[in-house]
Amino acid sequence: MEILDRPHHIQERNGPAFWVDEAIWGHRLHDEQSPWLIVLEFLNVLLAENNAGRLLSENGFNTLSYKPQIQLRLRNLVFNNPYIVTKLAQKTGDETAWNDWLVCMNETAGGLTKPDFSYLRQNFDSFKDFASVINFLQKSAIEGTSNKRWSSKFVFPFGPHALYEDLNIKQNGTLTNDRRFFARTGEILYLMLCRSRQVDKLRTLLDEHFIQASSPYDSMAHALQGETQYANSEHGGAFLPCSSHPVFDKIAEDWISILSCPVPTYDKIPHLVTMTGLNLLLYLLYRAQEVLGVDRVRLICEIVSPRKTVIRDLSGDSYQHNNLLPQQAIRHFINQITHTPAWVTAMAAPDPRLSVADLLHKTFDWAEDNEEDHITSPHRLVLQLEERAIIRHRQHVGKIHAAWSRAIGLSSRRSSRRTRYAPNDRLLKTLVVCCVKKRMEFREFLAYLHMRYGLVIGDAQAHDIIAKGDADQEDFSNNAQRLEDRLASLGLLKRLSDSCAYVENPFQRDQDA
Amino acid sequence: MKLYRDERKDNKLTINSSTAAWIRFLRNYGPIPTNDNMYDESIQRALKRHAITPIKLPAPLIDKLVDNFKSPAPISQIVTGTAGDGKTYHCREVWMSLGGDPALWDKGGKIQTLPIGVRSLVIVKDLSELQQEESASLIARFAHDVMNPSATTNYLLAANHGQLLEKLKSAKQTEEVIEVSKAIEEMLVTGINPNRDVHVKLTDLGRSPAAKLLNQIIDTITHHDGWQGCKDCSANNDTDPCPILENRRRLMANGPEHPFRSRLTALIELSEYNSNHFPVRQLLALVANSILGHPDVRDRLMTCDDVPDIQKNYKTYLASIYRNIFGDNLSRRKVEKTELFRKLNAFGIGFETSNQVDNLLVYGADDPGYHTDYETLLLSDKIYGATPAYVSAQHAYLEGTSNTNQNNFLSELRAQRQRLFFTMPNDMEKKYSLWHLTVFHYAGIYLDVVEKIIQGQAVPRRALNMIVRGLNRIFTGMLVQNHDKLVLASSGSYSQSTRSPLLDELISVPRHGGESVSLGADETHGVNIVVRLMYGDQIPPITLELTPTRFEFLGRVSEGALPSSFSLECHEDFLAFKARLLGETQKRREIDGEDQMIDGELVLRFIDLNNDGLAVERRVVVRV
């Protein structure tokens, strides 16, 4: 694995103030972008790159530049269309309803220079039919109940025509790409998959599932949108520091196994979202661990028990420990500079303060502002940078572990005041769908989850914890037992006897039967 | 009073010693800490020591196994099962029936060989006893012989599932071993041998019906000749009977006016339909604990010597067999650790209740409306029913003097609910909603349905309506009332979303044009929901096993009240079932050449609810 330098060919006006989080994890991971939105952004990149003839191939590291769709008419119709309900309720008759609605809509639609929605009349028999279709699209929207601005709401990715990027649409109609919810994490995901070893196989599958697939609902989105609209400019500047990483391969493998399940594409997407969330979370932790040079990250999971257990405490501790890892990595990463030859040279210079400031600028892209004038010691300067970096880190990257682990159902505060790793049923189901081809012995499944994702559930994976005396073997075997019961009640496990059980993938199993 | 006590002291002397030995022996089967009760070997020793007639357990397979090995072309056999299913017992019985020497067997060789004519039979009563090298070479020979039709050596191997797989995996992976392992693994999971060249039959003792076994075990134990000494035991008198004997009496009673046995077997059956298996050893432990359980004695299981003290302290009522069934004589920790009681307590009997039952139990003594029933259900049972302890707790509770009274009464109430579940006469079952005393309110209907299906009779209309309505509500996410059509709805996006506004198909429940929704049995005696979409076999019927839990879920959904405890588990199951149905209807449309898009027109079928709550279809055309 090679760690890549920051590319200097693209300089963003509103780019990062300094290059610390980005140097470790890339530009950028963002807490407000939920796993669902990561996948949506990814699909946008995928489609745009496909249109440019570069499906899942990176011509030179970190050169990604793409032009996503914006589909302004479609999103206005679905998410910025309050009049449809009122016009329908007035019961004025079909003709009047259409006319009234068109007037209102043409006035209020956002981001369009000359809005004209009259083309829609030929697509529907009645205004009521039109309203039902819009209602259907609203109901199936991604995270539809959120109170985000209308330009940050998304229809379900039925197909290429239903994809568009997050935008900020101002009152005066100007469009800006403020990276609020499509904060480049989808671009990072795209780069990761481009750099995975299984890229060729994945390319075929993605093409088949998301590019070539023609679904009736996608053509409905097409009918509503009319001609496709694209962003005005190319989006560049994404940066992923690792030329390769085991996590990249794991994401790709997980995507391949989910995409190979014999179920409709729509049903695969939620699983893809969950596994992407989990793997990116692990990427965050693994990178921190690599910077710190500490032991392998692991996640001790409690399978929720009705009463307080030792495992609950341990999983809470494990959560806390991991939650702080990225922050520790930031400090370590900055401090490392004081052990470099460049530092020694800078300190030996006639004006160490000036040369160190210069070094920090070169390394971390940190331009000290006037406030630092009073600082005279080079070491204080480093400390200052550290503090700034931590403050910035805590605003977003530092929140990712908490936000994503909750979003994918990995962490919970159920019957406790402390957050801990306690996977919910949906996550467990996704893990089974993803990891088990047909069937797998239960103990093997536990070992696999540990090997692949660092999840510690059963006693066999917790040897050292038990040896240290922090828990009894029984605590962990009971934990595994609860997982076994849980999976059995979800219909994902077949028990042969007290000593033997098989985890079964519900989809592949039915295929065989 | 003094005199009374002295009398008891005398009684102690008249306890029959051989009966006491029998009770002590029976006690070993119960949930005692030594765990010695686990193994056939130690039981044989104890029997000899005390000259007790062995408990002859039902082992329906033995004859089949013996016939097989006597036949001219026998097949090698593997007997698997959970610890306590009787694997060792089976091997021993086969050995003896085929003329093996019991003394030789009792020497305890791990691998025993028996010549049968020109053939020889290798019996391994427990594969896990073998050392790594021993088992590796055995597995190699075994794999070779079962793949070879002309081999003259047959095998009878016993192991629990995990050990069997472990041994197969740890042996040297030759081609033969791999083939055989694959076949055995498949047989373990599906019960079907996928490979005709592998001449081996696998029998899973875990699949024999435990309810039937339980009845046989109860009969065997309660009719054992060890009880004969009780006749002249002075602990046994009419006013204050010996709790051991009383429990035995209640356990023996069978027939329409004694619902106890049928209710107990119903619980076991329901558990098994929920795929919670009861091995023979657990059933033995259940019977032993039911008869001997008492919270105040050593190991919480009575011996004959304990009885006089119990009677003296007026604690007979704590030996109630209805409490012992759920392990209430044991510590809470022990109950939670014992699989047997975990499974039985999953029914929540004692905690669940209905208004009628609680009204009867709390106010029945004074409420004229409940007078007759109180007489029949409580006062008539002086030993475990309206005991002095219960009556005084009830009184104190109603007077409301202190908090302790309340807790005390609550535990009494629990014991009475448990008792009522087992003793409520069949004709009062409806009035007091018997199954509301469990978490499975619909279990009564479920068992009825299962019985009708097994006997090939028509399923009660009401049950099928309930199932279809429940499914419809889950499939659409709306409170629809339809029960003559299955409303297959889709969300248009992913199947997991809760509301599905688009109609995929309406499938007729009564047979119509190749469509039907029905209930049927499968080869493992489970009950399935069976949905047929077409005549012929182009699309095979889509089935879903209908467990008591799923049945309960559907019942509650169809009545519009769902306890949160069901949360996701069943819901996910049914959504997965829907996803399968959607896949098949899609296939049917492809076969029929139907397309959602015709000449640039996309037809969306929305589901509307009319005033009667019925789902009706509204077509919307989009020109695309």
Q: What pLDDT digit, counting tens, does each position of B509-535 carry?
A: 999 989 999 998 876 667 899 999 998
Q: What residues in B contact A154, CB-CB < 8 Å?
A: none
What residue type is assigned to position B568 of the chain? L
CB proximity list for B436: less than 8 A, separation 6 or greater = B352, B353, B354, B357
The domain boundary, picked from A296, A321, A348, lies at A296
**For chain B, which domains are there?**
2-52+209-345 (no CATH), 61-207 (3.40.50), 355-437 (no CATH), 447-507+549-623 (no CATH)
Q: Give residue-wise pLDDT tens across range B39-90.
A: 666 677 777 777 788 887 777 788 889 999 988 889 999 998 877 788 888 8
Q: What ipTM, to 2 d.p.?
A: 0.79
Q: What residues in B contact A220, CB-CB < 8 Å?
A: 602, 604, 622, 624
d(CA A492, CA A502): 8
Cα B395 vs. chain centroid, distance in angstroms? 38
Q: Range of A427's domain?
A: 297-311+415-512
Query: What DSSP character marks residue A190?
Result: H
Higher pLDDT, A200 or B208: A200
**Is B547 touching A (CB cutoff 8 A)?**
no
CB contact (8 A) between residue A136 and residue B80? no
Examine the domain organization and report whether A266 and A304 are in the same domain: no
The domain boundary, picked from A249, A273, A296, lies at A296
Q: What is residue A369's predicted lDDT score, i.e. its pLDDT?
A: 63
Q: What is residue B586's predicted lDDT score, i.e. its pLDDT?
A: 85
Q: What is residue A10's predicted lDDT score, i.e. its pLDDT?
A: 52
- Taking alpha carbons only, the member of A317, A306, A513, A273 closest to residue A408 is A273
CA atoms within 13 A on the CB side of A311: 29
Give the CA dihedral B67, B72, B78, B81, nearest 10 degrees: -10
Which of A133, A269, A500 is closest, CB to CB, to B165? Answer: A500
Tell me whether residue A407 is in a domain.
Answer: no
Q: How many residues does chain A have?
A: 513
- Greatest mean pLDDT range, B49-63, B228-242, B286-300: B286-300
pLDDT at B501 over 70: yes
Examine the domain organization and report whether A254 and A304 are in the same domain: no
Examine the domain organization and report whether A286 and A431 are in the same domain: no
Tell me which of A499, A505, A510 to substitute to probe the interface with B (most B C-beta atoms closer than 10 Å): A499
Examine the domain organization and report whether A203 and A301 are in the same domain: no
Q: Quickly tell me which residue has 């016939």 as its tokens.
A: B67
Query: What DSSP character marks residue A296?
Result: P
Structurally, chain A folds into a number of domains equal to 2
CB contact (8 A) between residue B163 and residue A439? no
Which of A136, A264, A269 is closest, CB to CB, to B501? Answer: A136
Q: What is residue B276's predicted lDDT score, i.e. its pLDDT?
A: 83
d(CA A484, CA A503): 9
d(CA B612, CA B484): 14
Q: State how far residue B580 is from chain A, nearest Cα, in angstroms.
A: 8
Q: State how far residue A141 is from chain B, nearest Cα, in angstroms.
A: 9
Examine the domain organization and report whether A162 and A204 are in the same domain: yes
Q: H or E stretch including B261?
A: helix B260-273
Six-digit token pair at A176?
Answer: 């800006």
Cα B398 vs. chain centroid, distance in angstroms? 38
**Is B296 touching A (CB cutoff 8 A)?**
no
Examine the domain organization and report whether A304 and A220 are in the same domain: no
Q: In chain A, whose CA is at the least distance from the CA of B624?
A: A223
| DSSP β-bridge partners for residue A154 | A142
The domain boundary, picked from A245, A271, A296, lies at A296
pLDDT at B35 over 60: no
Confidence of residue B563 (pLDDT cuts 50, 70, 90): low
Examine the domain organization and report whether A183 and A305 are in the same domain: no
Q: Are B289 and B264 in contact (CB under 8 A)?
A: no
Examine the domain organization and report whether A304 and A261 are in the same domain: no
Q: H or E stretch including B80?
A: strand B76-80
Six-digit token pair at A81?
Answer: 């269309």
Q: What is residue B170's predicted lDDT score, i.e. its pLDDT?
A: 85
Q: What is residue A368's predicted lDDT score, i.e. its pLDDT?
A: 65
Examine the domain organization and report whether A104 and A214 are in the same domain: yes
| DSSP β-bridge partners for residue B517 | B531
Q: What is residue B375's predicted lDDT score, i.e. its pLDDT?
A: 92
Q: What is residue A210's predicted lDDT score, i.e. its pLDDT?
A: 93
Q: What residues in B contact A441, CB-CB < 8 Å?
A: 165
Q: What is residue B511's predicted lDDT score, i.e. its pLDDT?
A: 92
Tell me whether residue A112 is in a domain.
Answer: yes
Q: Domain with A489 in it: what CATH number?
A: 1.10.10
Phi, psi of B328 (to 5 degrees): -70, -10
Q: Is the peptide bond before A28 cis (omega within 30 degrees of 0)?
A: yes
CB proximity list for B40: less than 8 A, separation 6 or greater = B86, B88, B89, B92
Which of A220, A222, A270 is closest, CB to CB, to B494? Answer: A270
Six-digit token pair at A72?
Answer: 């302004």
Tell me which of A128, A500, A508, A512 to substitute to probe the interface with B (most B C-beta atoms closer than 10 Å): A500
Phi, psi of B516 (to 5 degrees): -170, 155
Q: What is residue B10's predicted lDDT score, i.e. its pLDDT?
A: 45
Q: Quickly tell me which residue has 């079952």 as its tokens.
A: B429
Six-digit token pair at B617?
Answer: 């279809």
Six-digit token pair at A35?
Answer: 């796993």
pLDDT profile of chain A (513 residues), mean per 10: 74 71 93 96 97 93 94 95 91 92 92 90 93 91 87 93 94 87 96 96 95 86 94 91 96 96 87 97 96 92 91 96 96 94 92 89 78 75 91 94 96 92 93 92 95 96 93 93 89 79 80 41
Six-digit token pair at A158?
Answer: 């039925």
